[in-house]
Amino acid sequence: MAVAWLNSKGILLAMWQKRAIALLILAVGVGIGWYVYSSQQEGSRPFKLGLDLSGGTQLVYRANLDAIKGSDVADSMASLRDTIERRVNLFGVSEPIVQTEHAGTLAGTPEERLIVELPGVTDTQKAIELIGQTPVLEFRMLKVGVDQSNIASSTVNELFEPAAITGKDLKSAELQFQGGAGSLNEAVVVLHFNSEGAKIFADLTKNNIDRSFGMFLDGSPISVPVIREAIPDGTAVISGGFTPEGAKELARNLNYGALPVPIELISTQTVSGTLGEKAVQDGIMAGIWGVGAVVIFMLLWYRLPGLLAAVALMLYIAVILALFKLIPVTLTAAGIAAFILSIGMAVDANILIFERTKEELEKGTGTADAIREGFHRAWPSIRDSNISSMITAIILFWFGTSLIKGFALVFGLGVLVSMLTAISVSRTFLFALGIDARTGFSRFLFGSGVKS
Question: What does the domain layout of the chain look like in residue ranges?
Answer: 17-51+272-445, 56-269
**Contact between 407 and 51 (Cβ < 8 Å):** no
Distances (CA, A) of 429 to 196, 198, 301, 316, 433: 59, 64, 18, 14, 7
CA dihedral of 76, 82, 83, 85, whole degrees rounded to 10 = 140
In whole angstroms, give the CA distance from residue 419 to residue 348: 10
pLDDT at 6: 45
**Are the CB atoms for 160 and 200 separated by under 8 Å?**
no
The CATH number that domain 56-269 falls under is: 3.30.1360.200
CA atoms within 13 A on the CB side of 352: 21
Q: What is the mean pLDDT of each run of 10 residues along the chain (452 residues)?
A: 52 76 89 90 82 82 80 80 74 72 67 85 76 74 77 72 84 80 71 89 89 80 81 82 81 69 86 73 84 86 83 88 86 83 81 82 80 86 88 85 78 86 81 70 65 55
Q: Which residues contact 151 (CB under 8 A, 6 or more apart)?
A: 159, 214, 221, 224
pLDDT at site 95 = 66
Q: What is the pTM of this model?
A: 0.62
Contacts 24+ apart (CB under 8 A), 206-211: 206/230, 206/232, 208/141, 211/141, 211/142, 211/144
The CATH superfamily assigned to 17-51+272-445 is: Multidrug efflux transporter AcrB transmembrane domain (1.20.1640.10)
For residues 83 and 102, what is the distance between their CA atoms, to the nearest angstrom?
18
Who contacts 62 (Cβ-Cβ below 8 Å, separation ≥6)? Answer: 111, 112, 113, 263, 264, 266
